[in-house]
Structure 1
Amino acid sequence: MCRWIAYSGTPILLSRVLFEPQHSLIDQSLHSRLGVETTNGDGFGVGWYAEDLDTPAVVRDVGPAWNNRNLQEVAHHVRSGLFFAHIRATTGTAVQQTNCHPFRWDRWLWMHNGVINDFPRLRRDLALAVDPALYPEIEGSTDSELMFYLALTLGLTDDPPDAVARMAGLIEETGHKHGVRHPLQMTLAVSDGDRLWAFRYSSEGSSRSLYYSSRVDSLRALHPDAAFLREVGEETRLVVSEPLGDLPGAWNEVPESSYGIVHPGQDTLHAFQPRPGHR
């Protein structure tokens, strides 16, 4: 499987999240505590939004994140208020740059941890469900990227929660048709540059780990000496595959079968249920 981080809030250097925490994403690439694999070394990617640009930037590579000099260079010089980072452990598809997350289409970023079970058996039927106008945009061979284009086909740009619910429903319908008992396992993040949506769901009801950070004002009250908390505003929020450290009160588990929306104002948490996936 994989590990990922989504950050939204006060613009900061990417390195403040990717390298500096006690159990940073780079540390997780070697020593994951909650992932299926301890080591996640089959590629990495970062995607970030910058002011006054129409589309996010994406940097991806096939090597492990822990010793990549280009990642260090980018992370220590790029500042953003909304960014994604992902380290990959392949579930069977090739280790190649086009299979590394996050994936981008127009203003949208998408990254995923999980699997479509028996994906080779389901791949053809699912690929045929992608809008023909979008299909040429698919560059790699992963189930994660195909999920992205299925969601785009099913209305992601208009209503992300509904599109992801229909995407999940379509995968489950297709899987059951092929005799796959539990077709889908997913924790995923998607953003349009203004808002961030994070989902946790699996067909068997036992999803991969996912956490969100507590409110900054509450954490300041608990930990007045924590320097990072003095540097970021009240709107700052992280969603992570596993906690970045052991700061008491900092991390909350995303409930099973749910999704959250991070945006200026009040963040919200909702129940998630797949819907029939037909267009």
Structure 2
Amino acid sequence: MAVLLNGSGDGFGVGWYDSDYAKDDEKKTPCIFTSVTPAWNNTNLVRLADKIKSPLVFAHVRASTSGAVNEANCHPWNYGKIMWMHNGGIAQFEKMKRKLLSHLPENLFLFVQGNTDSEWAFALFLSFLPNIDADRFDQTQLKEAMVKTIAQLNAWAEELDITEPSLLNFAVTDGESVVCVRYISSKTEEAASLYFSSGTRFECYRPGHYRMIKADRREDMVVIASEPLTFEKADWLTIPTNNLMVITPKLNVLLQPIKDKFYNPDRGLEPLPETTQIPDASLRLTQTV
């Protein structure tokens, strides 16, 4: 699995889980490499990418909206085995921050090292988990904590009369499951874009051009990205605005709308081009309500 969130050139980060960890090692934690240099101009990133193999990768290119440009503010972050990143911004976070800090228990208040709204949102998410130091997390726990995080941010915004919408494309993983959300606190505006693709592998069919191969209608990989990574439009599906996506350890893709006051049933999956044909078994997409 891979999750890639786009930004600009204010630093970047890559987090991954070692592919050689012992299968019974429930305490595995991710490796994280961050830098304040642009991702496309970092020699060490090229060296690492050429050698590292991993079953699950998070990658983030930062566009600074809050917090200084330093490594402490580069996504992703981790707490134990849990890894988190964010594309977007919490509207008028400076007004909301005091409420968030008062909500957090002491250990999570002390956990945050940077000063971005994204990392504080991670601490808020962790506060909704039943046991943040657990050896194993159920995907339902991650999903419910994500929904509670968004609901709490919305509640504080309403209390403080913040009407500007927040862009909350959050992604979290425990190394087994992935939960991503494409969300905006608006009933009419669209959230920041988010797409996914699944199949067996990406294949280069001419220099600089790749397409997703679905050998024997298998899904051996799922890629989620802020923008499509290839020119093949048929390889990518749009995650609808204000929907939550879960990728299970078996690579099942589960999609669920967030039915709060900003829910709009008219915002659904964008139709594929008329020429697109997807085999019946090529995508295990389950709509849950």
TM over 0.5: yes
1:234 positional shift: 2.1
Structure 1 residues 273 and 265: CA distance shift in structure 2, 3 A: same
**Conserved? CA contact 1:176–1:183, under 8 Å:** no
Secondary structure of the structure 2 residue equivalent to 1:208: coil
Number of aligned residue pairs: give it.
238
1:164 positional shift: 1.2
Residue equivalent to 2:147:
165
**Conserved? CA contact 2:87–2:170, under 8 Å:** yes
1:58 positional shift: 0.3
Task: Name the amino acid aligned to 1:212.
Answer: F
Q: Deviations over 1:12-45 (max 9, x none)?
A: xxxxxx9xxxxxx8xx76xxxxxxxxxx110000
Secondary structure of the structure 1 residue equivalent to 2:143: helix
Residue equivalent to 1:77:
51
Residue equivalent to 2:71:
97
**Conserved? CA contact 1:262–1:268, under 8 Å:** yes
Residue equivalent to 2:191:
207
Return the alpha-carbon distance in structure 2 between the equivalents of residues 274 and 227 of structure 1: 37
Q: Rg bigger for which structure? A: 2
Q: Deviations over 1:165-189 (max 9, x none)?
A: 1111111111121110145211121
Return the alpha-carbon distance in structure 1 between the equivalents of residues 210 and 72 of structure 2: 38
Report which stretch shifted further, 149-158 or 60-69: 149-158
Q: Deviations over 1:35-65 (max 9, x none)?
A: xxxxx11000000001326101000111111
1:209 positional shift: 0.2
Residue equivalent to 1:67:
41
Secondary structure of the structure 2 residue equivalent to 1:104: strand
**Conserved? CA contact 1:214–1:252, under 8 Å:** no
- Superposition pairs of residues 108-257 of structure 1, within 5 angstroms: 108-155=82-129, 157=137, 159-205=141-187, 206-216=190-200, 229=213, 234-257=219-242
Return the alpha-carbon distance in structure 2 between the equivalents of residues 231 and 99 of structure 1: 40
Return the alpha-carbon distance in structure 1 between the equivalents of residues 211 and 98 of structure 2: 51
Structure 1: runs of 5+ lacking an equivalent: 1-5, 9-17, 19-24, 30-39
Superposition TM-score, scaled by structure 2 size = 0.75
Secondary structure of the structure 1 residue equivalent to 2:240: coil
Structure 2: runs of 5+ lacking an equivalent: 131-136, 204-208, 262-289
**What's the Cα RMSD here?**
2.7
- State the 4+ residue runs in structure 1 displaced beyond 3 angstroms: 214-217, 225-233
